[in-house]
Amino acid sequence: MVTPPAGRGKLGCLLLLLVLAAVIYVGADIGEVYWRYYQFRDAVEQEAQYGTTRSDDEIKRRLVALVDSLGLPEEAARRLQVRRSANRLTIDTEYTEHIDVPLYKRDVKFAPSAELRF
């Protein structure tokens, strides 16, 4: 049976752990941006679902507060629109998040929206 020289297998394992740590570090920053978007989008959909029991101002106040608590850009609150017609409630907004991690810089545009027909 042939055994590798002492220390060679440990170096490969260490390198693998370093690469894995780097991927987790970068992925966490990117994942956080998308996680906040999904949380906000879910809240927009929920506000639309209960839109018949809440006023437009109340819906907007609740979503603007959530923008602040999630740490989303102010642009999301400024562009937030709540519109009603005879049989429809529409809530939408747009904002851009900047992702800046080593070797990856990008602006990502998000546009959460929801509609309720009644």
The predicted-structure confidence for 18-54, as pLDDT tens digits, reads as follows 888 888 887 888 899 999 999 999 999 999 999 989 9
- Average pLDDT rounded to a whole number, residues 77-83: 97
How high is the pLDDT of residue 1?
A: 65
Phi, psi of 4 (to 5 degrees): -70, 155
Burial 94-103 (b: 16+ CB within 10 A, else e): ebebeeeeee
* pLDDT given at position 93: 98
Higher pLDDT, 12 or 66: 66
pTM: 0.82
